[in-house]
Structure 1
Amino acid sequence: MNTRYCAQDVLRCSVCKEDPLHSYCQLCHINLCTNCIESHLSDSNKHHPVVPYQTKNNNYPPCPQHRDRHCEDFCEKCDVPVCSNCLSSGKHNRHTLSDVLQKLREKTEDLKNDLKELQDRIRPKYEEIVTDLRTQEASLDTYCAELTAAIVREGEDWHRKIDIVVNKRLSEAEEMKNKYHTALSKHEKDVRDTASEIEQSILDLEKMLDSNDAFLISVYESRNTEFRSFPPRVLVTVPIFTSPRDNKEQLDQLFGSLSGSDVKTDENGYTMEEPEIPTSPPFKPLLNQPRTTVCINIGQTWPNSVACLGDDKVWTCGYDNSIRLYNLQNRLLKSLQTKSGKIPGDIALMRSGELVYTDPQARGINKVKNKKIKEMVRFKGWMPFNVCSTFSDDLLVSMCSVDYSESKVVRFSDFTETQTVQFNNDGTPLYSPGFGKYITENRNLDICVSDGNAMAVVVVSRAGKLRFRYTGHPSSATGPFTPRGIAADGQSQILVADINNHCVYVLDSDGALLRKMCQITSPYGICVDSRDNLYVIEWNQPSMGMVRKIQYM
């Protein structure tokens, strides 16, 4: 009998699933064995509070009503943490209860989301509004100067006979300008006052997060809805000066007048653009036992790359000059030859569905449209190998120098180079020399590279700053970590094919190992469709490659 499934078996580590637990991470809320503590506290997790498992309940917040008790539940109706004494008092009878730690995690995430929205979207929008108001004021002064000059010119034409009328009109113009200045200044003050409140809210939220005060977080109430209600736009109707010249008798009417003007507000004037990057879908847990749902025998020479076209077709390429499209019924729909007749390096799909492939030997990036192949970029001194498309429809390309001494990642927007990622902050190379660097972008906009020569996964931020390196997990491998294909799913989880250990690893966005999917023969290229199904090329035989579709979430 397998003791791991016995009721009296010891509790085991949440990471490796093998060894008995020893400690507990109070931030991630996972059990850790002695071997996994060190790897969990590496890189971005190094400040996580890891405590002995026996003291993990100390993470429960103290009850504000009963100081000798800790709150293990959360009353959904009263919206407060509650302890056992609170429950026994009868005040929460028939109220829905939930786990307080889970509730605190949810509240903390809401707080972080509010802070991010305030910093990244709401505050910049208010700054934009202030700039807009100041621009209106500057334009108003310029126009009023022109208006005054027009009135003066008309007065000179009429000479002394209309001095009184001229002075009257000038007075009207000055009064109008003062009226507009007053209205705009008042509106600007109101906007700046609200912006100051936002700044204070940001400071309060940052202080609350730093303090990790569970009670303050649990009772936190968001003001973001209030701040999303932007002020109305101030619209200034500028008058036009007109001059009837036929009748000179009634100077006041004939000299010219100012058209009607007003200061009013447009309630729909300011809007906040929605972010381009899609929000994360609802959380989907990993299956205990991933299952293969489709197998496609592609019969391609040493296939190494796969890209999903929708949820029912896949493009593949390998060590010949053909790129092929299959449906999930194992039918070859299309086959095309590379423009140069040489072996393609990798394939990717743009959001429009257009196919892009690299040609290392021809040193170019090509796009396929309407069965026609067009070379979009050609390089000198560098060879493009692996490629992926991003959420913003950019291309990320891993490249190596023609002498194989350097490697880098280059971002292309509309096939124009916009970013190069090559060195760490200390000037050391981020990637090993040579080719063999599959690449992807996750929903956090991190650039994730599978560096086969370095036997590591290298993850940098959107700005190109190193976040972490993953070099395998000792307890989950039977041989050296040999990463090949890499992909990211809707949960920002990073999937890495390990050809030597015949498995695909699932890492979280911070590099912690979540799951190992085994019994996949020599996995090489991988990709994920819109429903988070995994497609894996098995590189087990030179001319009988297989694409396996796996449901793992």
Structure 2
Amino acid sequence: MASEHHIGHRFVEVKHEYETKKEIIKKDQVELGNSISPKYEEIAFELEHQLANLDEGYEKLTTDISKQGEEWHREIDIVINKMKTEINEIKLEHESILKKHLNEIKQMQSLIKETLIVLGELEKSTEISTAIEYISKIKTFSKLPPRVNVLLPTFIPKPIDHEHIYNFFGQIIPLRYAIQEYVLSITQPKTSVKELLDKPELVATIQTGYCNLYSVSCLNEEIFCTSGLSSNIKYFNINGNLLRTIITKFWGRPIDIAVDGDGDLLYCDWGTKTVLNVKNEQTEELIRLQVWIPVNLCVTSTGDLLVTMYSDDATQSKVVRYTGSNKKQTIQFDDEGKPLYSGNSFMKYITENRNHDICVADYKAGAVMVVNEAGQLIWRYTGHLSTTKSKPFKPQGIATDSQGRILTADSHNHCIHILDQDGQFLSYIDNCDLIDPLGLCVDINDNLFVCDCANGNVKKIKYSQDI
């Protein structure tokens, strides 16, 4: 305190500092004892309860599988017995055919024996009239009966397709879990809200040259890439200048495109059942499927890849999460084991919301299906009653913005539906001369890019206010 180096410094009285700290200690003691510690006890109790019921739950699962196995064994035994009965019936028919022909042969043999006796008597006889009246039967007996060769029936066992047996036997819904954040009574910072415009504005219309335009993906607020009825993927700037063209190896057209956090391109090739990655002008195979066909895809906030796909026979659809080339999660059934998505080959555009919900536009089902990060169904949106939108709701393209709002294309009614993150309808975008809206994306400034499929144009639309 006496040092000249500290002249002018403000000193805090030790007693005041001590009393302040004591207040903090008292407050922390109350907070820990009354709020935080009981919450930890609650969480621990829930986990202990889950662990205590773990064995019972898994025993039920194995019992259900065993019951299904018993059902299958019974059905297989029924099939086997039915086939054995069928074989016995065929055997009786086979036996009947052979006996019939054998009886005919024995009758002829009996006639031949009788004829031989008569001929022996005639040969010894000296009666002229009897010998003269004799008529030869050699011609009749020389016409031998046909050879009968009845082939045994054949059992042709079908090859055992282990994968199909596994799929037909039943479905194990993969382990799912959700991490729910516990929020204590701490003041949360307010986020800026960008309100919707009363009347959305058409900012720009960019001609892409595709006769049919399917997908658009933003690299930033100035550059976007597109795919359509062509094997080429094109990059444009907002002024409509063609910046780059990627000639894919695909024989028809890339189904869907996406851009990852590094700006690298990903696209689906349904002809070869692959997802490809274009990095530094080099195209590499990222994912190859066997009995599933990839359709649409998106990159998540954590860098994972979500891919919608359908089975070879177009009866099942699912969403699969990949980290790189590794399958991480499959989303296909709800908690009752029923399919979440319609089973068909229609495109199912997909996106992730900022709360990590997974949103799928299911055209055939006429619904937007939203599941949480664990794959559990939260809600489905089937359209909004309107006197001006008379055609059935058939969603196609889908995107989300910084506010957690969901935008989906309704090409039949020439508009875009805007929903909040809980699936509540907010408004339409129906005033920007949209003819056949399909693929959608939103840039970092919440500008909407729409593929107008029929005329091959990308439309940039401003639909929310600036902060």
Q: Given residue 451 of structure 1, which amino acid in structure 2 is its aligned partner? A: D
Q: Given residue 469 of structure 1, which amino acid in structure 2 is its aligned partner? A: R
The structural deviation recorded for 1:202 is: 8.1
State whether structure 2 residue 442 is matched by structure 1 residue 528: yes
Equivalent-residue separation in structure 2 for 1:340 and 1:294 (angstroms):
30
Equivalent-residue separation in structure 2 for 1:306 and 1:428 (angstroms):
32
State whether structure 2 residue 319 is matched by structure 1 residue 409: yes
Aligned to 1:517: 429
Q: Given residue 354 of structure 2, which amino acid in structure 1 is its aligned partner? A: R
Aligned to 1:460: 371
Q: Does structure 1 conserve the Cα–Cα contact (< 8 Å) formed by 2:273 and 2:292?
A: yes
Equivalent-residue separation in structure 2 for 1:372 and 1:300 (angstroms):
24
Aligned to 2:256: 346
Quickly say closer, same or farther: Cα 1:366–1:280, change in 2 above 3 A.
farther
The structural deviation recorded for 1:333 is: 0.7
Q: Does structure 2 conserve the Cα–Cα contact (< 8 Å) formed by 1:485 and 1:526?
A: yes
Q: Does structure 2 conserve the Cα–Cα contact (< 8 Å) formed by 1:527 and 1:536?
A: yes
SS at match of 1:398: strand
Q: Given residue 447 of structure 1, which amino acid in structure 2 is its aligned partner? A: I
Aligned to 1:478: 390
1:173-212 correspondence runs (5 A): 194=32, 197-200=35-38
The structural deviation recorded for 1:460 is: 0.6
State whether structure 2 residue 340 is matched by structure 1 residue 426: no
Aligned to 1:157: none
Q: Given residue 369 of structure 2, which amino acid in structure 1 is its aligned partner? A: V
Quickly say closer, same or farther: Cα 1:412–1:223, change in 2 above 3 A.
same
- Specify which structure has the bigger relative contact order, considering alpha-carbon pairs within 8 angstroms and separated by 6 or more residues: 2
Q: Given residue 350 of structure 1, which amino acid in structure 2 is its aligned partner? A: D
Equivalent-residue separation in structure 2 for 1:280 and 1:311 (angstroms):
25
Selected match of 1:487 from 399, 421, 428: 399
Aligned to 1:165: none
Equivalent-residue separation in structure 2 for 1:469 and 1:197 (angstroms):
36
The structural deviation recorded for 1:540 is: 2.4
Equivalent-residue separation in structure 2 for 1:223 and 1:525 (angstroms):
42
SS at match of 1:292: strand
State whether structure 2 residue 186 is matched by structure 1 residue 292: no
Equivalent-residue separation in structure 2 for 1:291 and 1:350 (angstroms):
28
The structural deviation recorded for 1:343 is: 1.4
The structural deviation recorded for 1:201 is: 6.1
Equivalent-residue separation in structure 1 for 2:333 and 2:363 (angstroms):
18
SS at match of 2:197: coil
Equivalent-residue separation in structure 2 for 1:450 and 1:403 (angstroms):
21
State whether structure 2 residue 247 is matched by structure 1 residue 337: yes
State whether structure 2 residue 443 is matched by structure 1 residue 443: no
Q: Does structure 1 conserve the Cα–Cα contact (< 8 Å) formed by 2:286 and 2:324?
A: no
The structural deviation recorded for 1:477 is: 1.9
Q: Given residue 391 of structure 1, which amino acid in structure 2 is its aligned partner? A: S
The structural deviation recorded for 1:403 is: 1.2
Selected match of 1:504 from 416, 426, 446: 416
Aligned to 1:383: 293
Equivalent-residue separation in structure 2 for 1:223 and 1:489 (angstroms):
28
Equivalent-residue separation in structure 1 for 2:39 and 2:225 (angstroms):
49
Equivalent-residue separation in structure 2 for 1:527 and 1:376 (angstroms):
23
State whether structure 2 residue 211 is matched by structure 1 residue 301: yes
State whether structure 2 residue 239 is matched by structure 1 residue 313: no
1:45-64 correspondence runs (5 A): none
Q: Given residue 472 of structure 1, which amino acid in structure 2 is its aligned partner? A: G
Q: Does structure 2 conserve the Cα–Cα contact (< 8 Å) formed by 1:281 and 1:491?
A: no
Equivalent-residue separation in structure 2 for 1:514 and 1:397 (angstroms):
28
Q: How many residues align?
A: 292
SS at match of 1:454: coil
Equivalent-residue separation in structure 1 for 2:435 and 2:243 (angstroms):
26
Give 1 or 2 for the bigger CA radius of gyration.
2
SS at match of 1:500: helix
Report the RMSD for the aligned CA atoms in angstroms. Answer: 2.4
Q: Given residue 361 of structure 1, which amino acid in structure 2 is its aligned partner? A: G
Q: Does structure 2 conserve the Cα–Cα contact (< 8 Å) formed by 1:425 and 1:465?
A: yes
Q: Given residue 511 of structure 1, which amino acid in structure 2 is its aligned partner? A: G
The structural deviation recorded for 1:490 is: 0.5
The structural deviation recorded for 1:357 is: 0.5
Q: Given residue 428 of structure 2, which amino acid in structure 1 is its aligned partner? A: K
Please list every run of 5 or more consecutive structure 1 residues that lacks an aligned counterpart in the other structure: 1-189, 205-221, 229-278
Q: Given residue 38 of structure 2, which amino acid in structure 1 is its aligned partner? A: Q
Query: 1:364-388 CA deviation, whole Å, 9 max, x = no partner?
Result: 0100011111011100000101000
The structural deviation recorded for 1:281 is: 5.0
Q: Given residue 421 of structure 2, which amino acid in structure 1 is its aligned partner? A: S
Selected match of 1:537 from 442, 451, 461: 451
Q: What TM-score, normalized by structure 2, do the two folds share?
A: 0.59
Q: Given residue 534 of structure 1, which amino acid in structure 2 is its aligned partner? A: L
Query: Identity across aligned pairs (percent)?
Result: 42
Quickly say closer, same or farther: Cα 1:195–1:388, change in 2 above 3 A.
farther
Q: What TM-score, normalized by structure 1, do the two folds share?
A: 0.50
The structural deviation recorded for 1:320 is: 1.5
Q: Given residue 360 of structure 1, which amino acid in structure 2 is its aligned partner? A: W
